[in-house]
Amino acid sequence: MKYVCEVCGYVYDPAVGDPDHGFAPGTKWEDIPADWVCPVCGVGKDQFKPME
């Protein structure tokens, strides 16, 4: 499932991952560590919600 940042609108797509910060395509949201931050606006995972 994709997750959207409620602050800036960035979408975490597991198919894409966040390779710039060491998370390869295929990394599930659940496997992203708790100290990961939104690559766009810098907020934590707690400010993301599942995309409808």
Partner 1 sequence: MQAVKISDKVYWVGAIDWNIRDFHGYSTPQGTTYNAFLILSEKPTLIDTVKKEFYPEMMARIKSVMDPKKIEIIVSNHAELDHSGGLPQAVSEIQPKEIYASDMGVKNILAQLHPSFEIKPVKTGDKIDIGGDTISFIEARMLHWPDSMFSYLEKENILFSNDVFGMHLATSKLFDDENDEHIWLPEAEKYYANIVLPYSDIALRFLANVKKMNLTPKIIAPDHGFLWRKEPARIVNLYEKWAAQAPQKKVVVVYDTMWGSTQKMAEYVTEGLRQGGMEVKQMSMHGCHRSEVAHELLNAGGLVIGAPVINSEIFPSMADVLCYLKGLKKKNLVGGVIGSYGWNPAPVNALAEWLKAAQVELAAPVVSAKFSPTPQVLESCRQLGLTIAQKITEKINP
Q: How far apart are CB 44 and partner 1 at their closest, in Å?
A: 15
- Tokens describing residue 15: 């198919």
Of 8, 28, 44, 49, which one interacts with partner 1 (CB under 8 A)?
8
Let me know how long the chain is.
52
Asked if 51 is part of the footprint of partner 1 (rule: CB under 8 A), the reply reads: no
Quote the CA–CA distance of 49 and 39 in Å, as a whole number.
15
How big is the CA angle at 32 (ends 19 and 27), to the nearest 5 degrees?
Answer: 55
**Nearest residue (CB) to partner 1, 7 versus 51:** 7
| Residues found near partner 1 in the complex (CB under 8 A) | 7-9, 20, 40-41
